[in-house]
A and B are shown apart, each in its own frame.
Chain A
Amino acid sequence: MSHSVPSRPQMDVQVERKFVPKQKDLGADVTWAKINKDVLKSLEKPRPVFWVIFFSALALFSFGVYCEVYQYQNGMGVSDLNNPQVWGLYIATFIFWIGMGHSGTLLSALLHIIHADWRKPIYRYSEAMTTFTLLTAALFVLVHMGRLWQFYYVVAYPNERWTWPNFTSPLVWDATAIGTYLTSSLLFLYMGMIPDLAICRDNARGARRALYRFLSMGWQGTDRQWANFKVAYMTMACFLMPLAVSVHSIVSTDFAVSQNPGWHVTSFPPYFVLGALYSGCSGIITLFIVLRYVFRFEAYMTQPILNKLIKMTFAIAMVWTYLDLIEYATTWYGSDEVAKADLVYRATGDYALQFWGMIFCAMVMPFTLLIRFVRTNYTTLLIISLILNVGMWLERFQIITPTFAKSHYPWLWTAGWFPSWVQWGIVAGSFGWFTMLFMLYCKIFPSVSMYEVKEMVHEQNMEEKAHATQTEVHEPGLLPEMEGGQA
């Protein structure tokens, strides 16, 4: 007996052959000459809002200087810093600025090593952000000491006065690590700028020309210079990656090696590094939107690049959230009853508002980045990025203040302590100082890397050329359709 197998109905399946071009990071109209023209123009004529931002920052900075002078003349008492609240907003903001500084150079170096080309239009200002945030953070070390003239005690050097720095102290590690990071970041930023400074030199006049001539040091773009430059830049990127991780790990040891409740946590180093990356990425998004508008960088700071930056920020936010929850879980299930009481105090005590504010701003708000409207609307995104950084600042505040407020000794409890206006003034001044320096930098130096964006354009053109040739060889009929699709 034979069974006849019913034959399948012959279906004429037609696969529609469509060429879906990958979304390009830069528009097709970007040429090498246009890059020079646009970036050089940004140094000459930004939008008028530049001056509004600059003078607002200057006013804020001036107020900060006034507060510092007032504190210097009247003593640390005016800041309300006293035992046990000896750090207050100063060290919370110090950590905030150090953290902000981490993403710029770290991400630039990381993305350079893995050849992620989308970093090219945005890495320059990110590195500048690192430099200026470190300079801002360094101010707080001086400000919180009160006695400014004795700052050299934190610098690790042996001297002849029998006052040897304690080389095993995290504070000395901190000063050395930050000094190393600042030096290396500054050199990384400067090295990467040399070819662009030569472009500025070739196009500027007067005092600017003299400045660029001095800083470009006679760069001519020869093949030997490029070959050496590429090796050196990659080598420095390889150094800066572990350096950045080490710096914020060391900052975390300021807390983690102490016995204070809430600080003696093993996961603090990665938690701090991720927190630094998180706030830094949010800072990069904020500056992306501001620079894009102020300096008319619409052709270079594009939506596809911003989208990648947002995805990275979201991923980092999730890892940071995980580490934050791990910190609470470790304390909750641990055997240190004082640490557990400190955790409960943070969530329910005098600083509960700051605690839950941090949870909302830094843990809940990142989920809004999943909404397409938020990602594509610059104003909304600017607000969200600022909220994320408010959350990260609150995180630093609630690490320090509640622990000092209710530590091991009940006679040192200072529940309800709140910083004085002098502290708030100096913190506000630091934001003015950073913004002022950063905007000044963008007005004097190219904040978009011209030669690296040219490399992007060159690679995009080569890819298109190679793709067109390949398609012509294998599927001659497809080419006109493709071209139509691209157009």
Chain B
Amino acid sequence: MKKSHTLALYADMDEAANALKELKSSGVSGFRMEDVVVKSPIDHPELSELLGPRPVYIQWFTLLGVLLGPTTGLVLIASAQASFIYQVRGGRPVVPLPPDMVLTYELFILSGVLMTVLATFVAMKLPGNRSPLYNASVSEDKIGILVKAEPQSIPQINEILGRHKPLEIMGDQAR
């Protein structure tokens, strides 16, 4: 069944927190806390805690970047030096590791940064389409609680959200 959305806007963070707490303990069927999204102008760890665990996996991609970058970089540099066999090195090694470490280090950083950025965009689902229930005031000073649920559960959810002094409730079945 296609799910419906509802978005409640709050001016006060405590009210938004209370709405989330009640929503969590309400036992209303047809929605999961994983489908509840908080939209806010700043990061609110206080509210995120109420939503349950939302793991971040970016660091694993970073780790992959910092392992692959220097390895690939050093192999490329060393193979380029080794393939140029006619150079006059005056007894010094054709592939001198200490000076090669400088470029390897730069590639370690570059690869780590690029993988972090790439993973961030994937994790944030960017670039992405804007939700039809987006309200510009959440980028200014309001807090929005967006709930995705079965259509028959929306009235109950709206009732819970409405008990905590929302400025507005938006959605298909909004009051």
A348 within 8 A of B: no
Asked if A221 and B130 sit within 8 Å, CB to CB, the answer is no
Asked if B58 and A231 sit within 8 Å, CB to CB, the answer is yes
A164/B126 contact (C-beta < 8 A), A226-B40, A231-B58, A232-B116 known: no
Q: Which of A164, A176, A223, A226 contacts B103 (CB 8 A)?
A: A176
In whole Å, how far is A308's beta carbon from the nearest beta carbon of chain B? 22
Asked if B136 and A202 sit within 8 Å, CB to CB, the answer is yes
Asked if B39 and A222 sit within 8 Å, CB to CB, the answer is yes
Q: Which of B77, B103, B117 contacts A191 (CB 8 A)?
A: B117
A79 within 8 A of B: no
B106 within 8 A of A: yes
Asked if B43 and A236 sit within 8 Å, CB to CB, the answer is no
A246/B100 contact (C-beta < 8 A), A158-B76, A187-B113, A191-B117 known: no
Who on chain A is nearest to B47 by CB?
A223
Q: What bracket does the count of chain A residues touching chain B fall in? A: 35 or more
**B102-120, CB < 8 A from A:** 102-103, 105-107, 109-110, 112-114, 116-117, 119-120
B90 within 8 A of A: no
Q: Which of A164, A220, A225, A246 contacts B105 (CB 8 A)?
A: A246
Q: With the chains together, A199 CA to B42 CA distance in Å?
A: 12
B160 within 8 A of A: no
- Stretch of A14-22, A126-134, A450-458 with 4 or more beta carbons under 8 angstroms from chain B: A450-458
Find chain B residues with CB under 8 A from A183 CB: 110, 113-114
Q: With the chains together, A242 CA to B106 CA distance in Å?
A: 10
Asked if B100 and A168 sit within 8 Å, CB to CB, the answer is yes
In whole Å, how far is A418's beta carbon from the nearest beta carbon of chain B? 35
Q: With the chains together, A168 CA to B81 CA distance in Å?
A: 10
Q: Which of B117, B127, B140 contacts A199 (CB 8 A)?
A: B140
Give the residue among A32, A236, A239, A243 with the most B Cβ atoms within 10 A.
A239
Q: With the chains together, A415 CA to B8 CA distance in Å?
A: 76
Q: With the chains together, A413 CA to B102 CA distance in Å?
A: 34
Asked if B124 and A225 sit within 8 Å, CB to CB, the answer is yes
Who on chain B is nearest to A200 by CB?
B139
A243/B109 contact (C-beta < 8 A), A199-B139, A232-B119 known: yes
A224 within 8 A of B: yes
Asked if B110 and A458 sit within 8 Å, CB to CB, the answer is no
Asked if A236 and B116 sit within 8 Å, CB to CB, the answer is yes
A198 within 8 A of B: yes
In whole Å, how far is B61's beta carbon from the nearest beta carbon of chain A? 10
**A220-252, CB < 8 A from B:** 220-232, 235-236, 239-240, 242-243, 246, 250
B56 within 8 A of A: yes
A239/B124 contact (C-beta < 8 A), A164-B81, A223-B48 known: no
Find chain B residues with CB under 8 A from A198 CB: 139
Q: Digit string of B122-149 for contact with A (CB within 8 Å is 1, else 0)?
A: 0111111111001010111100001000
B99 within 8 A of A: yes
Asked if A164 and B80 sit within 8 Å, CB to CB, the answer is yes
Q: Which of B51, B58, B80, B130 contacts A218 (CB 8 A)?
A: B130
Asked if A221 and B39 sit within 8 Å, CB to CB, the answer is yes
**B1-24, CB < 8 A from A:** none
Q: Give the interface SS of chain A, mostly helix, strand, loop or mixed.
A: helix
Q: With the chains together, A455 CA to B41 CA distance in Å?
A: 9
Asked if B41 and A167 sit within 8 Å, CB to CB, the answer is no
A227/B42 contact (C-beta < 8 A), A184-B109, A187-B117, A220-B130 known: no
Find chain A residues with CB under 8 A from B32 CB: none
Asked if A167 and B131 sit within 8 Å, CB to CB, the answer is no
Q: Digit string of B58-72 for contact with A (CB within 8 Å is 1, else 0)?
A: 110010000000000
Q: With the chains together, A197 CA to B96 CA distance in Å?
A: 46
B38 within 8 A of A: yes
A218/B106 contact (C-beta < 8 A), A158-B80, A167-B80 known: no
B44 within 8 A of A: yes
In whole Å, how far is A106's beta carbon from the nearest beta carbon of chain B? 13
Find chain B residues with CB under 8 A from A239 CB: 109, 112-113, 116
Find chain B residues with CB under 8 A from A454 CB: 41-42, 141
Asked if A451 and B42 sit within 8 Å, CB to CB, the answer is yes
Q: Which of A195, A203, A218 contacts B127 (CB 8 A)?
A: A218
Find chain B residues with CB under 8 A from A164 CB: 80-81, 84, 87
User: Which positions in A face B, CB cutoff 8 Å?
Assistant: 31-33, 36, 156, 158, 162, 164, 167-168, 172-173, 176-177, 180, 183-184, 187, 191, 194-195, 198-199, 202-203, 217-232, 235-236, 239-240, 242-243, 246, 250, 451, 454-455, 458
10 A–B pairs (Cβ distance < 8 Å), ordered by A: A168-B100, A173-B106, A180-B107, A184-B110, A191-B120, A219-B126, A223-B39, A232-B58, A236-B113, A246-B105
User: Which positions in B face A, CB cutoff 8 Å?
Assistant: 37-44, 47-48, 51, 54, 56, 58-59, 62, 76-77, 80-81, 83-84, 87, 96, 99-100, 102-103, 105-107, 109-110, 112-114, 116-117, 119-121, 123-131, 134, 136, 138-141, 146
